[in-house]
Amino acid sequence: MKKNRFVAGLLSAAMMVSVLAGCGGSTAASSSESSSQAPASSSEAASSAASGESEAAGEAATEGAVKKPDNFPKKEITLIIPFAAGGAFDVMARTLQPIIKENDDINLIVTCVEGGGSAVGVTQTLTSKPDGYTIGFGSTSYLGLIAQGRMQMDPTNADFLCSISSDPMVLVAKADGPYQTAEDYINAAKENPGTITLGNPGTNNTNQASAKFLDMAVGDGTFQLTPFSDGDARVVTEILGGHLDAGVLKPNSCMSQLKSGELKILATFTKERLESFPDVPTFEELGYDVFPYGDVAQTVCFALAPKGLDPEIKAYLSDVLYRATQSEEFQALAAEGGFEAPGIHGEELDEYVGTLYESAEILAEKVFSAA
């Protein structure tokens, strides 16, 4: 999960997401290999990835730190998560909490402010005093809301600090259900058009876009597309309860169910197989084009602050977050959770967010305006 590979791959793609959300290791596929359980021994995957990068990550966490500004911080820093407690973003924040405390002796107070597809929490962050004591997580969801005119601000209202994660989208189903492969699921939908359900958390977001692209690839109206406004957990519950045939989720959103063997991944919305799930084929391998407008495959999370931070404080906070994301502990979480954490920051992050926003505008016009 090298930083330059991540940036090159994503910035070269027309990465379009509305509410906006991968990894390498291509492997030849057959449809019989479509099922997946937990990441190739979750603990082994995490251990292998972490051990391969722990030395570099450890160096990144301790070397080259930006000088701490005088008299900052004088108190704890609030980190606003714009989604429900217990979700993937909350887990990442609470993993970073003790790392930042140990590295920089900063007390990070994590607060979840959900609502409006992240609009409520992001707005609270960006309308706070730009003094460095309130920061938050934003995502491709926030950029998508702006692109769709559902949030009255633009990316220039924020100071971007550091990327936190990039999550791929995957198709999941009940492990002991009738669909053991992606082809089982798709064939059932073809035989019963409009009756086989395909769920996703929220609307006008990467999950919904991926579901729509699969429906387009198989044949418009093949699936009964079913969004759930109350998030990932609801989709998981509906699948496990037998009320939903399959769903589009991030691996990190249903990792405990993947580990326990309750859910399985049938295929991935990625160009290459995921390192954490090497036996799972991509839809491209199976002959389905789920990238009609470019590489729409990931949900990106980044830390941001109200516009107008003191440049020294901005540089310091960016560095604090960068070193924390590159720590051995956080990289192990990324490996086990099936996401990447390259820690993009500085001008590179500003350019990256600009690219994501341009993609969000295209998707808002071509996909969600017609929904």
Asked if pLDDT for residue 185 goes beyond 80, the answer is: yes
Q: What is the pLDDT of residue 297?
A: 54
Q: What is the pLDDT of residue 258?
A: 95
pLDDT band for 360, please (50, 70, 90 cuts): confident
Cβ pair 221, 194 in contact under 8 A: yes
Q: Percentage of the chain with pLDDT > 90?
A: 60
Residues in the chain: 371
Q: Residue 106: beta bridge partners?
A: none
Alpha carbons within 13 angstroms on the beta-carbon side of residue 34 total: 24
Is pTM, for the whole model, over 0.85? Answer: no
Say what angle helices 88-104 and 328-337 make with each other, to 10 degrees: 170
d(CA 159, CA 177): 46
How would you list the strands of the sheet with 134-139, edge to edge? 108-112, 77-81, 134-139, 298-306, 158-168
Asked if pLDDT for residue 83 goes beyond 60, the answer is: yes
User: pLDDT tens for residues 190-234?
Assistant: 999 999 999 999 888 889 899 999 999 999 999 999 999 877 889
How confident is the model over 256-269, as a mean pLDDT? 96
Q: Backbone phi, then psi, for 367, in 5-degree steps?
A: -110, -60
d(CA 214, CA 198): 10
Cβ pair 61, 109 in contact under 8 A: no
| Sign of the torsion angle spanned by Cα atoms 323, 126, 95, 235 | negative
Cα dihedral 147→151→153→155 (10° resolution): -50
User: pLDDT tens for residues 16-26?
Assistant: 333 333 333 33
pLDDT band for 5, please (50, 70, 90 cuts): very low
Structure tokens at 135: 């920061």
Q: Residue 131: beta bridge partners?
A: none
Out of 68-77, 110-119, 182-191, pick the least confident.
110-119
Q: What is the pLDDT of residue 28?
A: 33
Mean pLDDT score across all residues of the chain: 84
Structure tokens at 165: 């994660």
Q: Percentage of the chain with pLDDT > 70?
A: 81
The domains of the chain, with CATH numbers, are 53-167+299-370 (3.40.190.150)
d(CA 99, CA 102): 5
Q: What is the pLDDT of residue 22?
A: 33
Cβ pair 202, 231 in contact under 8 A: yes
Give the strand pairing for 158-168 and 223-228: unpaired
Out of 109-113, 219-223, 267-271, 357-361, pick the least confident.
357-361
**Please, what's the largest Cα pairwise distance for the chain?**
67
Q: What is the pLDDT of residue 12?
A: 39
Q: What is the pLDDT of residue 203?
A: 80
User: pLDDT tens for residues 125-166?
Assistant: 999 999 999 999 999 888 989 998 888 877 888 999 999 999
Asked if pLDDT for residue 326 goes beyond 80, the answer is: yes
Q: What is the pLDDT of residue 371?
A: 56
pLDDT band for 96, please (50, 70, 90 cuts): very high
- In the chain the first and final C-alpha atoms are separated, in Å, by 35
Q: Residue 109: beta bridge partners?
A: 78
Where are the alpha helices (H) located in 264-327, listed in sequence order? 311-325
d(CA 284, CA 117): 29
Cβ pair 249, 172 in contact under 8 A: yes
